[in-house]
Amino acid sequence: MKRILLSLALLASFYSSAQIALSQNFDGATFPPTGWTRSATLSTRPWGPSNVATTFPSSGSAAIATYSISNTSAAIDYASGANTAGLTSPAFSLAGATAPLLKFKVVVGWSFMIDQNLGDLIAQISTNGGTTWTTLWTEDTETGFIDDGDGNANTDLYNIVSVQKDLSAYAGQTNVQIRFQYTATDADAVSIDDVQVLTNGTLGTHEVSSKKASLEIYPNPTKGQISIKTDKNIKSSTLFDMTGKALLQTTNEKTDISSLPKGTYLLKIIFTDGTSSTRSIIKQ
């Protein structure tokens, strides 16, 4: 599988000339953020903040760890019934823009959303106040999402994918909006974060192969220390309880959970290449 990465050199030149037309990280106290709007045909499943259990009535509070990309993200939970839900940005201008670029991060479960195709997440653009929309991106054609290959739909990797889309065709437009549209029936939750539109950006044109991590956590079940064996470099690992509360965080390959009570926990591992993996841990 491949995912789009920027080299440090590209990043330096990119940010030195880029101007921000839209920027949202969803970390504020209010949701949706000021100027953003949301809609849902199923009123019990709107877009919401990823850091609260009420956003995930179906997935459960442990989903906080899976769908919080950078602190708080914008997330939506699955439902057994059909739902079409939009999260729309405020209007912004691309007047004077020479190379506008849309960037965002996204988490989508492989099995239900892609392999079984029970739902769709798309990013769209409008230049007329939302009267008409043009699709810029869809998760069905995104190569960055990874199947862990174990055949179990409930243990997907839920890796973070960074997306970039060229908006040069919309340079000069003054009434621009971005919408993230989720359409699904009994599919899976999704989340987005760090949405930016840059007026004079540089699109990362080179793609680097990002292999699936060989990952083993042992012993599991455990009475104390757990070890992480992987062929990727670990940025951090965080242990969560089943309410989504972070209990321990380390940058090492070993974690001691002997002081914790017996039960099931979630270990979220973030790799230095930007991907992540979440595994359940049983403390005996």
172 and 227: one domain?
no
pLDDT higher than threshold 80 for residue 192: yes
- Measure the CA–CA gap between 133 and 125, rounded to whole angstroms: 5
Give the range of the structural domain holding residue 244, as residue numbers without chain letter.
215-283
42 and 178: one domain?
yes
Domain boundary residue, one of 170, 198, 226: 198
Give the residue, 256 or 191, on which the prediction is more confident: 191
**Nearest CA-CA partner of 111 in 155, 55, 74, 65:** 155
What are the phi and psi torsion angles at 147 (to 5°)? Answer: -95, 130
* Per-residue pLDDT, 203: 57
At 19-37, the pLDDT tens digits run 999 999 999 999 999 999 9
pTM of the predicted model as reported, rounded to 2 decimal places: 0.70
Q: Return the minimum-mean-pLDDT range out of 8-22, 47-61, 78-92, 268-282.
A: 8-22
Q: Which of 106-120, 142-156, 243-257 has the highest mean pLDDT?
A: 106-120
In a domain, 260, yes or no: yes
CATH number at residue 182: 2.60.120.200
3-state secondary structure the chain: CEEECCCHHHHHHHHHHCCEEEEECCCCCCCCCCCCEEEECCCCCCCEECCCHHHCCCCCCCHHHHHCCCCCCEEECCCCCEEEEEEECCCECCCCCCECEEEEEEEECHHHHHHCCCEEEEEEEECCCCCCCEEEEEHHHCCCCCCCCCCCHHHCCCCEEEEEEECHHHCCCCCEEEEEEEEEECCCCEEEEEEEEECECCCCCCEEECCCCCEEEECCCECCEEEEEECCCEEEEEEECCCCCEEEEECCCEEECCCCCCEEEEEEEEECCCCEEEEEEEEC
247 and 186: one domain?
no
CATH number at residue 243: 2.60.40.1930
